[in-house]
Amino acid sequence: MRDWLVRNRIVVGVVAMVLVVAGGVTYVVAEVGNQGKAAAEPGTASSTGVRFVDNGGGRNLVSTMDAAGNRTTGTMQCLRVYTAGGTTVCLRLTLPGAYEAAVFDSTGAQLRTVPLPGTPSRARVSASGKIVSWTVFVTGDSYLSPGGFSTRTGVLDLRSGTLTESLETFATSIDGAPDKRQNENYWGVTVATDDNTFYATLGSGDKTWLVKGDLRARTMVTVRQSAECPSLSPDQTRVAYKKRGGRLGTWQLFVLDLASGKEIELPGSDGVDDQAAWLTDSALAYAKVQQGGEPTIYESAADASGQPRVLVRGASSPSPVG
Amino acid sequence: MYVASTRSGKENAPVDGVRTSRVPTTVFLLGTVSLLTDISSEMVTAFMPVYVLVSLQMTYVQLGLLDGLYTGATALLRLAGGYIADRVHRHKEVAVAGYGLSAVMKLAFVPVGASALALGGVQTLDRAGKGLRTGPRDALISLVTPSKDLGTAFGVHRTMDTIGAMFGPLVTFALLSWVTYRPGPIFMISFCFAALGVIVLVFFVRQPRLERVPGKVASLRATVGLLREKRMRRTTIAAGLLGLATISDAFVFVVLQKVSGLPSTALALMPVGTALMFLLAATPMGKLADRVGRWRVFFGGHVLLLGVYLLLLGPFGGIPLAAASLALHGLFYAATDGVLMAHGATLVPAHMRAGGLSIVQTGQALARFASSVGIGLLLQNLAFGTTVLLAVGALTAALVGVYLLIRPEVSR
């Protein structure tokens, strides 16, 4: 047997290569053939209907589901998408390792593209559709802190066309004292209805802060600690954010009442890592991955009454359909 | 068979001497194995950011923590892989184990899912496979090549290796853009490339027969004892010193983008520039090293790196600065990566080749890791320009030290 193998090793090798290629091609063709079916599965009725990225369909196409749960698959391919006030921001791949933010108006005409310095993580549009923001992860300069990471958050004002490439250029004060840190990161912007006030996350060292900022004055002040990826409610009275509170230090979603300072935990959100989107003043949507599964969009009551329910499977990046 | 004569310093023609090509077929076959494996691993590297952030809806926070572990695990396994290969006279089998481990790990990504710890574990095992195979693989190249052609052979291997590394991200990009974002098919295609590499190694590459000479056993004591030999010890120290003064690619690219004033998207293209120059120049540089001396070319490569650092101070800007810097950076790799192994192969007797090469390589890798951690700490307090100036000073000092240390003993 061993002699036979030695004598015929070239033939055996070629046969093995053919088998690997055939097996791989068969698997991939079957998987890719199947992926279209997932996109046709109806979702669940929701408060408003949602727009999202369809991950289950494999092409990451922006899709919509109306309030009754009927799905329509679009043609725009995005890693992150958000729509508000008629404006859509789509964070997408342009070249190997290169990404851009593309901004569209309500007719689908492309208004502007901005090259991004890293992998898309968050995307938001203010309620008026005038202020667009995003956060990307920069993997190239993680040397800044050994074992650390780095983010860049950009803000684009469509009224003036002003582009802030990084919030790091704003003046920040931490607990009332001007900030002189070198190594700091910002992520997860949410803009108020005045199109000037915003909330975001500041991370530096092993701490994170919820910051409140002013776009015109280019300033930020810290509000409280350990609150990440804020999302302002449509009525402007509450902020939803993720905070490490679960077992094993996982994130959970919380809603803070800005007037009273009272914070409530949303049940069933353990392990979330997303910037929640308000569908209405009483309902939030967010994506979460179940162990070994695909990302799934959940809807949760903002007053913490009851468990979250599944809106769409194999989907992420929810925003309300107006 | 070819018997390495390592200390005579004379050119040593292969005894069977009937080669038509200057570079043995085995080197091309090992180059093919590396090309396929690099397509596989660079596909995954290019997919990881999208996979983690989009498919798993995770942020990077926990992933970076394991970087130190990777480097440590790779270094230890590199030494172990080299030593074991010598010990059991089976370079090929140890290399198969390393390539095989990395291949199988490609199938483990999807099952472990969104667990940062398990994902880090899979990546660590993937890199452990790389550590295990490097020493035996380089030893195989050196054992089948006449010593006068070692530079060329390693140059050809590194060229093929880098071609694979350039194709990997393109394959991932094509799949994402036109076929699918689903992780299953992407990891499966990556696995298939790796499996093809393992098949080429298993069925087409032959272990060169080394005669077992009594008294020439690659014991642990003898392998470590290689460092008692003056040229070997000085080479290891010199490579380590230069490694300490070598700043990481990531830092070079980030500074270059800032200094040249190019948009931040240029960051994604910079590694391509370096790799392109590396693959074009690796074989010619290897040939040059065979002619004028490997150590001389290795040393010259670091002088080119000093040129890169000086350009990072920004004597001019824009695309010319980026192009000049990346060309020099690629030439630096072409003049140092394979050439150091070609030089090392002339210092280590054949029966301890894998272990000896691993020692030289591990010293260099650990020094480079120490340098990147050091730079990280420096940057918390210093500006980019000051850090680059410090690097210029450190590399100049290392070059002077190494010049004085090595010159009389190993000028070849």
Residue type at B317 in one-letter notation: G
Q: Is the pLDDT of residue B317 over 90?
A: no
Would you place residue B14 in the very low, low, confident or very high pLDDT band (cuts 50, 70, 90)?
A: very low
pLDDT at residue A140 in the model = 52
Q: Which residues of A touch B204 (CB under 8 A)?
A: 9-10, 13
Lowest mean pLDDT among A99-108, A180-189, B37-46, B61-70: B61-70
Average per-residue pLDDT for chain B: 87
Q: Which residues of A touch B67 (CB under 8 A)?
A: 142, 146-147
Same domain, B254 and B105: no
Q: Is the pLDDT of residue A299 over 80?
A: yes
Q: Which residue of B has its CA nearest to A229?
A: B59
Q: Which residues of B touch A80 (CB under 8 A)?
A: 54
Q: Does A235 touch chain B (CB under 8 A)?
A: no
Same domain, B57 and B196: yes
Contact assessment for residue B123 and residue B109, using Cβ atoms and an 8 Å cutoff: no
pLDDT at residue B10 in the model = 37
Q: Do A273 and B58 touch (CB under 8 A)?
A: yes
Q: Is the pLDDT of residue B310 over 50?
A: yes
Q: DSSP string of B163-207?
A: HHHHHHHHHHHHIIIII---HHHHHHHHHHHHHHHHHIIIII--P
Which residue in the block uniquely carries the two structure tokens 């290399």?
B95
Instruction: Name which of B177, B263, B380 is nearest A93 (Cβ-Cβ).
Output: B177
pLDDT at residue A146 in the model = 41
Would you place residue B215 in the very low, low, confident or very high pLDDT band (cuts 50, 70, 90)?
A: low
Instruction: Name which of B114, B199, B375 is nearest A20 (Cβ-Cβ).
Output: B199
Same domain, B176 and B241: no
Same domain, B310 and B195: no
Give Cβ neighbours of residue A203 (< 8 Å, ≥ 6 apart).
Answer: A151, A184, A185, A186, A187, A209, A228
- The per-residue pLDDT for range A145-194, each reduced to its tens digit, is 444 567 899 999 999 999 999 999 999 999 888 877 767 889 999 999 99
Other beta carbons within 10 angstroms of residue A64's beta carbon come to: 17
Q: Write the ipTM.
A: 0.90
Same domain, B225 and B356: yes
Q: Smallest Cα–Cα separation from A90: which of A126, A53, A41, A117?
A: A53
Same domain, B198 and B224: no
Would you place residue A143 in the very low, low, confident or very high pLDDT band (cuts 50, 70, 90)?
A: very low
For range B42-50, the mean pLDDT: 90
How many Å lie between the alpha carbon of B256 and the closest alpha carbon of chain A? 12
**What is the domain count for chain B?**
2
For range B300-309, the mean pLDDT: 97
Q: Does A313 touch chain B (CB under 8 A)?
A: no
For range B60-66, the mean pLDDT: 49
- CATH number of the domain where residue B123 is located: 1.20.1250.20
Lowest mean pLDDT among A304-313, B366-375, B394-403: B366-375
- The per-residue pLDDT for range B238-288, each reduced to its tens digit, is 999 999 999 888 889 888 988 999 887 787 789 899 999 999 999 999 999
Same domain, B230 and B194: no
Q: Which residue of B has its CA nearest to A13?
A: B203
pLDDT at residue B124 in the model = 84
CA dihedral defined by A157, A163, A166, A171, rounded to 10 degrees? -70
How many Å lie between the alpha carbon of B374 and the closest alpha carbon of chain A? 9
Residue type at B295 in one-letter notation: W
For range B303-325, the mean pLDDT: 95
Q: Do A273 and B59 touch (CB under 8 A)?
A: yes
pLDDT at residue B133 in the model = 94
Give Cβ neighbours of residue A47 (< 8 Å, ≥ 6 apart).
Answer: A67, A279, A280, A282, A283, A299, A320
Q: Which domain holds residue B354?
A: 220-406
pLDDT at residue A178 in the model = 86
Nearest-10 crossing angle of helices B230-244, B384-406: 170
Would you place residue A196 in the very low, low, confident or very high pLDDT band (cuts 50, 70, 90)?
A: very high
Q: Which residues of B touch A165 (CB under 8 A)?
A: 264
Give Cβ neighbours of residue A235 (< 8 Å, ≥ 6 apart).
Answer: A281
Would you place residue B408 in the very low, low, confident or very high pLDDT band (cuts 50, 70, 90)?
A: low
Q: Do A119 and B202 touch (CB under 8 A)?
A: no
The proportion of chain A whose per-residue pLDDT surpasses 90, expressed as a percent, equals 67
Q: Which residue has the higher pLDDT, A180 or A102?
A: A102
Q: Is the pLDDT of residue B19 over 50?
A: no
Instruction: Name which of A28, A115, A143 is nearest B263 (Cβ-Cβ).
Output: A115
Q: Is A157 helix (H, G, I), strand (E, B) or coil?
A: strand
Nearest-10 crossing angle of helices B318-345, B266-292: 40
What's the rounded Cα separation, in Å, for the pair B52 and A119?
10
Instruction: Name which of A55, A121, A182 is nearest B55 (Cβ-Cβ).
Output: A55
- On whether residue B267 sits in a domain, the answer given is yes
What's the rounded Cα separation, in Å, for the pair A249 and A31?
35
Same domain, B282 and B173: no
Q: Which residues of B touch A60 (CB under 8 A)?
A: 54, 181
Would you place residue A1 in the very low, low, confident or very high pLDDT band (cuts 50, 70, 90)?
A: low
Q: Smallest Cα–Cα separation from B168: which of B132, B134, B197, B133?
A: B197
Q: Do B185 and A140 touch (CB under 8 A)?
A: no
Same domain, B163 and B191: yes
Give Cβ neighbours of residue B350 (< 8 Å, ≥ 6 apart).
Answer: B3, B4, B6, B143, B210
CATH of A2-320, one of 3.90.1150.10, 2.60.120.10, 2.120.10.30, 2.40.50.140: 2.120.10.30
Q: Where are the domains of chain A?
A: 2-320
Same domain, B192 and B268: no
Largest CA distance in chain B: 63
Q: Is the pLDDT of residue A91 over 90?
A: yes
Residue B259: exposed, middle, or buried by beta-carbon count in 10 A (0-12, 13-18, 19+)?
A: buried
How many Å lie between the alpha carbon of A118 and the closest alpha carbon of chain B? 8
Q: Which residue has the higher pLDDT, B375 or B14?
A: B375
pLDDT at residue A246 in the model = 64
Same domain, B189 and B327: no
What is the b/e burial string over A41-57, where b = at least 16 CB atoms within 10 angstroms of the residue's CB? Answer: eebeebbbbbbbbbbbb
- On whether residue B11 sits in a domain, the answer given is no
pLDDT at residue B60 in the model = 57
pLDDT at residue B9 in the model = 36
Same domain, B177 and B225: no
- On whether residue B80 sits in a domain, the answer given is yes
Q: Is the pLDDT of residue B223 over 90?
A: no
- On whether residue B32 sits in a domain, the answer given is yes
Q: Do B57 and A58 touch (CB under 8 A)?
A: no
The proportion of chain B whose per-residue pLDDT surpasses 70, expressed as a percent, equals 88
Q: Smallest Cα–Cα separation from B204: which of A17, A9, A16?
A: A9
Q: Smallest Cα–Cα separation from B226: which of B141, B337, B346?
A: B346
Q: Is the pLDDT of residue B381 over 80?
A: no
**Interface A:B, Cβ pairs < 8 A:** 179
Instruction: Name which of A31, A119, A165 is nearest B182 (Cβ-Cβ).
Output: A31
- On whether residue B15 sits in a domain, the answer given is no
Q: Do B57 and A274 touch (CB under 8 A)?
A: yes
- The per-residue pLDDT for range A203-250, each reduced to its tens digit, is 887 789 999 999 999 999 999 998 999 999 999 999 999 998 766 678
- On whether residue B412 sits in a domain, the answer given is no
Identify from B122, B182, B387 which residue to disrupt to test chain A contact, counting A C-beta atoms within 10 A and taking the largest count.
B182
Average per-residue pLDDT for chain A: 89
Give Cβ neighbours of residue B369 (< 8 Å, ≥ 6 apart).
Answer: B71, B75
